[in-house]
Structure 1
Amino acid sequence: MTLFNLTDLASTLPRNARLIGLDPGSKIIGIALSDVGRRLATPYGAMKRGKLAEAAATILDIARKEGAAALIIGLPLSMDGSIGPAAQAARDWAHAIARETGLPVAMMDERLSSAAVNRALIEADVTRAKRAGRVDAAAASYMLQGALDLLNEPRPEE
């Protein structure tokens, strides 16, 4: 399965289908879920990054359980917007997950999502130990919310 442009992906989705946001790190994959109206993202959890087949099975289980029809995967572009090694690795993983799950996938720029989430948790006086367990899912939620906001922007009439 190929990767979709975000707006093209949205046009293929069934009504009331949720989206799963994934923030694939080197050790942990943060998971977020949209509401059925695709307006609000919430942290869902995290899983250890292991074998692709195991990750795909977990993602498919979540999709079935929660009524999700597509994946939005974080793309860690370089600060200048270029595709560096981390972004290329995320793209390769996104292609592989799309192939393994059969779910449509779009990618979303996630520059600084973990930093923004860490900053917010620090400002909320969350301890370092508690932040460690929450940042991955929260970063996935932050990234997914950005995608939802883009999808819900008013479009000029063509």
Structure 2
Amino acid sequence: MSGTLITDDLAEFRASLPDGGRLMGLDVGSKTVGLACCDSQWTIATATETIARRKFSKDLERLKQVIAEQQIAGLVVGLPLNLDGSQSKQTQASRAFAQNIRVLELPILLWDERWSTQAVTRDLIAVDVSRKRRSEIVDKMAAAYILQGAIDGLAAIA
């Protein structure tokens, strides 16, 4: 576990992965964790589910299930920085979550997600999704947005 990579460096993350393999994006919030997965060629991210946060052990068990079902090779955790790039309480909470999920023994990329929730919410409003429905899907859609940014970055360095 101590050797499990946690990095914000895309090239270092890429070097820790096998060629191909599915990745999972996580949008970590205080009440939920949005999940998204991509195909093994890293071309498109798809929103998967939203986990209602309970005890960490329960959250971890669900993550393990999804990782096994989807054959995940690496994790991309959204890092909510302030607009000026500085860290916030939520940034620290996401970093702590990443440290805690090291037990999964998968490489972890911390990915700048400053605009993810706002961008997804704006897109959902543009296609007239109701407020209730937006609240149900915004976290997993934000996870897909985060993961898509990371896989686009991976494609650029391949």
The TM-score, its normalising length taken from structure 1, stands at 0.92
Q: After TM superposition, give the deviation of residue 6 of structure 1 in Å.
A: 2.5
1:92 to 89, 96, 112: 96
Is the Cα–Cα contact under 8 Å of residues 11 and 157 in structure 2 kept in the other structure?
no
2:156 to 148, 153, 158: 153
1:108 equivalenced with 2:131 (yes/no): no
Cα separation, 1, equivalents of 2:58 and 2:74: 18
Q: After TM superposition, give the deviation of residue 15 of structure 1 in Å.
A: 2.8
1:60 aligned residue: 64
Cα separation, 1, equivalents of 2:106 and 2:55: 18
Alignment: residue pair count: 154
1:124 equivalenced with 2:127 (yes/no): yes
- The amino acid across from 1:139 in the alignment is A
2:81 aligned residue: 77
Is the Cα–Cα contact under 8 Å of residues 17 and 107 in structure 2 kept in the other structure?
no
Q: After TM superposition, give the deviation of residue 17 of structure 1 in Å.
A: 0.9
Deviations 1:95-133 (A, max 9, x none): 1111x3222211100002111101000000111111111
Q: After TM superposition, give the deviation of residue 86 of structure 1 in Å.
A: 1.1
Is the Cα–Cα contact under 8 Å of residues 27 and 78 in structure 2 kept in the other structure?
yes
Matched residue of 1:144: which SS?
helix
For 1:1-12, list aligned pairs within 5 A. 1-4=4-7, 5-12=9-16
Cα separation, 2, equivalents of 1:153 and 1:103: 22
Matched residue of 2:156: which SS?
coil
1:14/1:154 Cα in 2 relative to 1: closer, same or farther (>3 Å)? closer
Is the Cα–Cα contact under 8 Å of residues 10 and 154 in structure 2 kept in the other structure?
yes
The TM-score, its normalising length taken from structure 2, stands at 0.92
Is the Cα–Cα contact under 8 Å of residues 37 and 144 in structure 2 kept in the other structure?
yes
Q: Where do 5+ consecutive residues of structure 1 fail to align?
A: none
1:143 aligned residue: 146
1:39 equivalenced with 2:19 (yes/no): no
Q: After TM superposition, give the deviation of residue 14 of structure 1 in Å.
A: 2.0
Q: After TM superposition, give the deviation of residue 152 of structure 1 in Å.
A: 0.7
1:25 equivalenced with 2:29 (yes/no): yes
1:107/1:33 Cα in 2 relative to 1: closer, same or farther (>3 Å)? same
- The amino acid across from 2:110 in the alignment is M
Is the Cα–Cα contact under 8 Å of residues 2 and 95 in structure 1 kept in the other structure?
no
